[in-house]
Amino acid sequence: EGGDVDLLADGVLTQEQLGMIFRDIASPGMPTEAMNFQQFALWFFSRSFSEECNLTEEQCAVRSMARKYDMAISDVDYYKKCFDKHDPDGSGLIDSTEFEALLNKMVRTPNGFSLPEKRVEQLWREADEDNNGAINFWEFARFYRKHFEQQGT
C-alpha cells in the first residue's frame, strides 16, 4: 500500500506524493524538497493538530471570526450548521422567511407554534445590519448571541 505512493520505493516522499495522502498538504512550513520518513514524522507531529491541516478553508475562516468576535468556537460551529440548513441555495444569505424558520428552530419553538409575526419582523430589522433584505452568517451569529445566548436561553 505504501508502494502506491512511494513510486520509487526508496523510502522518500515528495510533496506531490504527500499530497496524495493528505488534503491540501502544502501548508506553511512544509519543506519543498523531498524528505525521509523521520523528517516527515517530525513535520507531521508538529502540525497534525493545526487547523490548517485538519479543517477546510471555510472552517478556518469561521474559527478565525469566532475569535475576532470573542465567541466560543463550539457555539459558532452550531450556529453555522443551523444557518446552513436554512440556506438551501448555499448563497450564504437567508431571507426573512428562512430567518423565521431558523429562529423558531434555534429557540426551540414547539411544533405547530411560531414566534409572533411582529416580533419576528422586529428581530429581522435588528439582524439585517446593512438593510439589504438578507442576512449573512455573521449578521445572524452576532444577532443570535446578543438576543438569545446572553440571556441564558
22 and 53 Cβ atoms separated by less than 8 Å: yes
Cell, residue 8: 520509487
Cα Rg, the chain, nearest whole Å: 22
Q: What is the mean pLDDT of residues 130-143?
A: 93
Phi, psi of 13 (to 5 degrees): -115, 140
Residue type, 67: R
CA distance 33 to 11: 14
pLDDT of residue 69: 86
- pLDDT tens sequence across 8-51: 677 777 777 766 666 444 455 556 677 788 887 887 777 777 77
Residue 94: beta bridge partners?
Answer: 135
CA distance 134 to 93: 6
Phi, psi of 72 (to 5 degrees): -65, 135
pLDDT of residue 145: 85
Helix (H) or strand (E) holding 36: strand 35-36
In the block, cell 436561553 appears at 153
- pLDDT tens sequence across 42-92: 877 777 777 777 788 888 888 998 999 888 998 898 889 989 999 999 999
CA distance 133 to 114: 21
- pLDDT tens sequence across 101-121: 999 988 889 999 999 999 999
